[in-house]
Amino acid sequence: MLGEGRIKTEDLQEMETAMQKARDAVNEMRASGTAYKHLSKDGTPEPVYFTRLPEIKNGNPNTPVSLQKLKEFGDYLRTNVDAVVFLGVGGSYLGNKVLFDIGAGPSWNSMGEKRRNGYPRIYFSGNNLDAGQCEEIMNELRYWSVHAWPKKKRFKVMLVPISKSGSTLETLASFIYFYEACNKSVMFDTEVTAVTDRNPEAGSPLFALAQKHGWRCFDIKNGIGGRFSVLTDPGLVTAAAIGMNVEELLKGAGDMEEACRMDDVYANPALMNAALKYIASERYGCHIEVFMGYGERLGSLGQWYVQLLAESLGKKHNRNGETVYYGRTPVPAVGTTDMHAQTQLHQDGIRNKVVQFLQIKNMPGDIVLGMPFEEPAFKKYNGLNMSDALAMALDSNAEALNGDRRFNARYVLPEMNAYHLGELFYFLMLSVAYEGELANVDAFDQPGVEAYKKIMKAKFAEHSN
């Protein structure tokens, strides 16, 4: 990000006063639970509590009672439930999918021994209005109900609809489908755990339904937007379902919070990240940010980051009401896969991108290739460690970009576990909060989303009538 043809020391020096103001604004947010001029979609003041997520205490989004409830939920699933279907879209899905991909992995459902201590199979739906996806999951549940258990035992399915409003179309459509399909079959024993706004004044239809049927219910707290919710109940229910250490996840976030409380703006990692991205965008025309994690399990993390960056910073107006059209277009990528798809553009295309790499130093698994073939062309693969080759690919990509003075940066984690994932989640959340202050936009609203929702709601109401 720094150097000839890129950000200069003078650029940062000129930003120092603005960085100090951003630091002070986020400190005020921590203390008061409010953000300057932030209003809810109905125009009333709305709190911002995401900076309180790491600290487990009464009055915060995560409390000793809420964590104990999550632990009991995980224990119940492990001993009583065969499959869980999480139903959510946007912030009620993307973070959950990251937790599953990193904490469980792609073979979780098929390899019983990897579902340690009897944890259930996990499925995700409600993230699209896709009938085919719903039917495929339902068919798989039917398959396991017949083939994986004694026929006299009913296959227990837990449905977990996640919606703050309790009326999200994608989520409720899928939930209704699965609830009806499971209850029609004698093969299934169906339970529901709702995750929604439990404040009666909020009027969540899902909460009313949970009360009527006596379903277990987790809360979506006020002041935590969907894209920031992965470190509270809407995301942590998935962590509990796969036995991830929730305390370690929050401890990682808490340690990052402490690291970002430095008075020295140059020693605050999230603020520095925000300042560099802001300068690259505003002064050097880098209006696209590629998030490229090296490793197959990191693909969903890029998708989660797309929502965080796009909804937080993609704003037409600043907080003074002036038209600014701020924001960067986020592009998810996976290394090395997308080195064979996107890197040509990153390297030779228009100079309007920051390529953000994510490297895991100690990747899970350690494959060293042998020499099963005699042909000389294959000798170079003998003794090759695949993790080392992955690191070499990243280094080569970065070196090529640096050679042409292309903007890029690298996050490096020692390993991808609950602690470091919590660090990374929180670092990225704080980064967009700081950048919102630098750009003078509200990083916590989403008026563009509300625009299409109003139109779609009217169309849906007309169709229903």
Is the Cβ–Cβ distance between 204 and 181 less than 8 Å? no
Identity of the residue numbered 46: E
Closest CA to 422 of 162, 102, 33: 102
Catalytic residue (one of 8, 287, 317, 453) = 453
437 is catalytic: no
Q: Are 91 and 230 in contact (CB under 8 A)?
A: yes
Report d(CA 62, CA 232) in Å as an integer.
Answer: 6
* CA dist list (Å): 43 to 38, 46, 197: 9, 9, 19
| CA dist., res. 282 & res. 271, Å (int) | 16
Number of neighbouring beta carbons within 10 Å of residue 310? 19
Considering the candidates 311, 423, 435, 437, report the single residue annotated as catalytic.
Answer: 311
Q: Is 453 a catalytic residue?
A: yes
452 Cβ contact partners less than 8 Å away, ≥ 6 residues apart: none
Q: Look at residue 430 and give its three-state secondary structure.
A: helix
Q: Is 247 one of the catalytic residues?
A: no
Tokens of 315: 């704003």
Structure tokens at 57: 């205490």
- Residue 47 to residue 52: CA distance in whole angstroms: 11
Strand order in the sheet with 121-125: 121-125, 83-87, 155-161, 188-196, 216-219
Round to whole Å and give the CA distance between 372 and 378.
9
Q: Which of 245, 246, 242 is nearest to 233 (CA)?
A: 246
Residue in 61, 49, 129 with CA at minimum distance from that of residue 89 = 129
Among residues 57, 151, 152, 340, the one annotated as catalytic is: 340
Q: Which residues are catalytic?
A: 311, 340, 453
